[in-house]
Amino acid sequence: MKKITLLLAMVVFVATSTFAQIQKPVKLAYVAKKTGTDAILYIKATIDNGWHIYSQHTPDGGPVKTTFTFAPSKDYTLVGKVMEPKPMVKYEDSFKINVNYFEKQVIFQQKIKLKKGVTTVKGSVEFMVCNDKQCLPPDEVAFSIPVK
């Protein structure tokens, strides 16, 4: 009897974990384009249909803004701030404010000044993704971008 109960419990566990899917509606890709002693880092977010992420410039009191953190390095210096295209704007009732957001895809850009010909830029991006029914908890993704 104990074997049947254990076997049944294992089947239920496997069946439940098979159907439980982790939602990852945002895929990130990275590339660097070198131009002499400068380079531009491109961080592309591809967003599943029906979902959106928020701009770096979303007003306080709303959703988690997209933020970039770069690890300090003696190989390069950041030039300016991370650039982004013009976001869409809409009023979100859940936050009671106008929010700045992106759908489908967005490419963020960061210019760097190289102190060394070849390097790797490390850091992370934090973002929040929502659709018209739910918001997922903020996600932080580490990146490593080779600059050659």
Pure H helices in the chain:
2-19
The answer to whether 98 and 89 have CB atoms below 8 angstroms apart is yes
CATH number at residue 31: 2.60.40.1250
Residue 114, domain extent: 23-147
Q: Is 14 helix (H, G, I), strand (E, B) or coil?
A: helix
Instruction: Please tell me the pTM assigned to this model.
Output: 0.84
Q: Is residue 117 part of a domain?
A: yes
Query: Would residue 131 count as lying in a domain?
Result: yes
62 within domain boundaries = yes
Q: Total domain count for the chain?
A: 1
Per-residue tens of pLDDT for the chain, all 148 residues: 444 443 433 433 444 344 446 889 999 999 999 999 999 999 999 999 999 999 999 999 999 999 999 999 999 999 999 999 999 999 998 889 999 999 999 999 999 999 998 999 999 999 999 999 999 999 999 999 999 9
Q: Is residue 120 part of a domain?
A: yes
CA distances from 116 to 81, 82, 121, 123, 126 (A): 21, 21, 12, 18, 28
Residue 18 covered by a domain: no
**Six token digits for residue 146:** 């080779």
Q: Say if 1 falls within a structural domain.
A: no
How far apart (Å, rounded) are the C-alpha atoms in residues 91 and 102? 14
Residue 7 lies in a domain: no
Residue 12 inside a domain? The answer is: no
Helix (H, G, I), strand (E, B) or coil at 135: strand
